[in-house]
Amino acid sequence: MEHILLIEMTGNEFEQYFTDKIQRYSLVLSQNAYEGNGDFETKATNQLNNLLPNGIQTSGHYFFNINNELENIGYLWIKKDNEKKSAFLYEIYILSEFRNMGYGTITIKKIEEWMREHELLFLKLHVFGNNNEARKLYERIGFEVAGVNMIKQVE
Protein backbone atom coordinates (compact mmCIF):
# COMPACT_ATOMS: atom_id res chain seq x y z
CA MET A 1 0.00 0.00 0.00
CA GLU A 2 2.93 2.38 0.49
CA HIS A 3 3.37 2.64 -3.27
CA ILE A 4 1.20 5.62 -4.03
CA LEU A 5 1.80 7.53 -7.23
CA LEU A 6 0.70 11.08 -7.95
CA ILE A 7 0.04 11.18 -11.68
CA GLU A 8 -0.70 14.54 -13.32
CA MET A 9 -4.17 14.69 -14.82
CA THR A 10 -4.70 15.01 -18.54
CA GLY A 11 -7.12 17.60 -19.89
CA ASN A 12 -9.85 14.98 -20.35
CA GLU A 13 -9.31 13.61 -16.85
CA PHE A 14 -9.51 17.15 -15.47
CA GLU A 15 -12.85 17.76 -17.23
CA GLN A 16 -14.33 14.66 -15.57
CA TYR A 17 -12.73 15.60 -12.24
CA PHE A 18 -14.12 19.15 -12.44
CA THR A 19 -17.65 17.88 -13.18
CA ASP A 20 -17.43 15.48 -10.21
CA LYS A 21 -15.90 18.20 -8.02
CA ILE A 22 -18.85 20.52 -8.67
CA GLN A 23 -21.21 17.81 -7.43
CA ARG A 24 -19.10 17.03 -4.34
CA TYR A 25 -18.62 20.71 -3.51
CA SER A 26 -22.30 21.58 -3.95
CA LEU A 27 -23.15 18.80 -1.48
CA VAL A 28 -20.61 20.17 1.02
CA LEU A 29 -22.03 23.68 0.59
CA SER A 30 -25.56 22.41 1.20
CA GLN A 31 -24.41 20.63 4.38
CA ASN A 32 -22.61 23.72 5.65
CA ALA A 33 -24.99 26.46 4.51
CA TYR A 34 -25.78 28.82 7.31
CA GLU A 35 -26.72 31.84 5.27
CA GLY A 36 -29.92 31.04 3.46
CA ASN A 37 -30.67 28.38 0.94
CA GLY A 38 -30.16 28.39 -2.75
CA ASP A 39 -28.85 26.71 -5.78
CA PHE A 40 -25.73 25.10 -4.33
CA GLU A 41 -24.66 23.64 -7.67
CA THR A 42 -24.59 27.12 -9.20
CA LYS A 43 -22.68 28.47 -6.18
CA ALA A 44 -20.17 25.62 -6.41
CA THR A 45 -19.76 26.09 -10.16
CA ASN A 46 -19.23 29.84 -9.81
CA GLN A 47 -16.72 29.51 -6.97
CA LEU A 48 -14.72 26.82 -8.77
CA ASN A 49 -14.73 28.74 -12.04
CA ASN A 50 -13.47 31.82 -10.16
CA LEU A 51 -10.63 29.78 -8.64
CA LEU A 52 -9.79 28.17 -11.97
CA PRO A 53 -10.50 30.70 -14.73
CA ASN A 54 -8.25 28.76 -17.12
CA GLY A 55 -9.24 25.29 -15.94
CA ILE A 56 -6.33 22.88 -15.69
CA GLN A 57 -4.08 25.59 -17.19
CA THR A 58 -4.69 28.01 -14.29
CA SER A 59 -1.28 29.16 -13.11
CA GLY A 60 0.01 27.60 -9.89
CA HIS A 61 -2.67 24.91 -9.67
CA TYR A 62 -1.75 21.22 -9.95
CA PHE A 63 -4.10 18.28 -10.39
CA PHE A 64 -3.13 14.67 -9.82
CA ASN A 65 -4.74 11.26 -9.88
CA ILE A 66 -3.84 9.28 -6.78
CA ASN A 67 -2.88 5.79 -7.92
CA ASN A 68 -1.99 2.68 -5.91
CA GLU A 69 -0.12 1.16 -8.88
CA LEU A 70 -3.19 -0.89 -9.75
CA GLU A 71 -5.87 1.72 -10.20
CA ASN A 72 -6.93 5.28 -9.54
CA ILE A 73 -8.03 5.64 -5.92
CA GLY A 74 -8.59 9.40 -5.70
CA TYR A 75 -7.73 12.95 -6.70
CA LEU A 76 -5.49 15.73 -5.50
CA TRP A 77 -5.73 19.47 -6.17
CA ILE A 78 -2.98 21.69 -4.80
CA LYS A 79 -1.87 25.26 -5.40
CA LYS A 80 1.75 26.31 -5.17
CA ASP A 81 2.70 29.78 -3.90
CA ASN A 82 6.42 30.28 -4.47
CA GLU A 83 6.45 33.72 -2.87
CA LYS A 84 5.11 32.39 0.44
CA LYS A 85 7.02 29.09 0.09
CA SER A 86 3.73 27.32 0.68
CA ALA A 87 1.14 25.09 -0.91
CA PHE A 88 -2.61 25.12 -0.34
CA LEU A 89 -4.37 21.78 -0.42
CA TYR A 90 -7.72 22.40 -2.10
CA GLU A 91 -8.69 18.75 -2.18
CA ILE A 92 -7.47 15.33 -1.33
CA TYR A 93 -10.27 12.97 -2.27
CA ILE A 94 -9.99 9.24 -1.70
CA LEU A 95 -12.73 7.16 -3.35
CA SER A 96 -15.06 5.67 -0.73
CA GLU A 97 -13.98 2.06 -1.28
CA PHE A 98 -10.37 3.00 -0.46
CA ARG A 99 -10.98 5.06 2.67
CA ASN A 100 -9.75 4.08 6.14
CA MET A 101 -6.89 2.09 4.62
CA GLY A 102 -4.11 4.60 5.23
CA TYR A 103 -4.11 6.09 1.73
CA GLY A 104 -4.84 9.61 2.97
CA THR A 105 -1.80 9.58 5.26
CA ILE A 106 0.45 8.16 2.55
CA THR A 107 -0.84 10.73 0.06
CA ILE A 108 0.04 13.55 2.48
CA LYS A 109 3.57 12.13 2.69
CA LYS A 110 3.73 12.18 -1.13
CA ILE A 111 2.56 15.81 -1.10
CA GLU A 112 5.34 16.62 1.36
CA GLU A 113 7.89 14.98 -1.00
CA TRP A 114 6.49 17.06 -3.89
CA MET A 115 6.75 20.18 -1.74
CA ARG A 116 10.40 19.49 -0.90
CA GLU A 117 11.13 19.12 -4.62
CA HIS A 118 9.52 22.55 -5.15
CA GLU A 119 11.25 24.11 -2.10
CA LEU A 120 7.97 24.78 -0.29
CA LEU A 121 7.90 24.92 3.50
CA PHE A 122 4.24 25.16 4.58
CA LEU A 123 1.17 23.11 3.69
CA LYS A 124 -2.14 24.86 4.32
CA LEU A 125 -5.71 23.67 4.00
CA HIS A 126 -9.28 24.36 5.01
CA VAL A 127 -11.56 21.71 6.47
CA PHE A 128 -15.24 22.20 7.22
CA GLY A 129 -16.15 21.85 10.88
CA ASN A 130 -18.44 18.89 10.31
CA ASN A 131 -15.76 16.84 8.49
CA ASN A 132 -14.56 15.03 11.61
CA GLU A 133 -12.82 12.23 9.73
CA ALA A 134 -10.59 14.63 7.79
CA ARG A 135 -9.93 16.78 10.85
CA LYS A 136 -8.75 13.74 12.82
CA LEU A 137 -6.44 12.72 9.97
CA TYR A 138 -4.92 16.17 9.68
CA GLU A 139 -4.40 16.55 13.42
CA ARG A 140 -2.90 13.05 13.69
CA ILE A 141 -0.27 13.83 11.04
CA GLY A 142 0.78 17.14 12.56
CA PHE A 143 -1.45 19.92 11.26
CA GLU A 144 -2.19 22.69 13.73
CA VAL A 145 -5.19 24.98 13.88
CA ALA A 146 -4.26 28.38 12.47
CA GLY A 147 -7.68 29.99 12.96
CA VAL A 148 -11.30 29.11 13.55
CA ASN A 149 -14.35 30.56 11.83
CA MET A 150 -17.47 30.39 13.95
CA ILE A 151 -21.13 31.16 13.35
CA LYS A 152 -24.26 31.48 15.46
CA GLN A 153 -27.79 31.81 14.19
CA VAL A 154 -29.68 34.51 16.07
CA GLU A 155 -33.40 33.94 16.37
Sequence spans of domains, the chain:
5-140
How many angstroms separate the Cα of 151 from the Cα of each of 36, 45, 74, 124, 155? 13, 24, 32, 22, 13
Neighbouring residues of 85: CB distance < 8 A, sequence distance ≥ 6:
119, 120, 121, 122
* CA 70 from centroid of its chain's CA atoms: 22
Give the relative orientation of helices 40-51 and 11-31 as an angle to the nearest 10 degrees: 130
In whole angstroms, give the CA distance from residue 125 to residue 139.
12
Where are the extended beta strands (E) located within the chain?
A: 5-8, 61-67, 72-81, 86-94, 122-125
How many angstroms separate the Cα of 102 from the Cα of each of 3, 105, 109? 11, 5, 11
Q: If you average pLDDT over residues 2-24, what whole number do you get?
A: 94
CA atoms within 13 A on the CB side of 61: 19
Local confidence band at 2 (pLDDT 50, 70, 90 cut-offs): low
Q: For the domain covering 5-140, report its CATH number.
A: 3.40.630.30
Instruction: Give the lowest-confidence range in 16-25, 29-38, 70-79, 139-148.
Output: 29-38
In whole angstroms, give the CA distance from residue 39 to residue 120.
37
Q: Does 78 score more than 90 pLDDT?
A: yes
pLDDT tens-digit profile of 101-134? Answer: 999 999 999 999 999 999 999 999 998 877 888 8
Could you tell me if 143 and 124 are in contact, meaning their C-beta atoms sit under 8 angstroms apart?
Answer: no
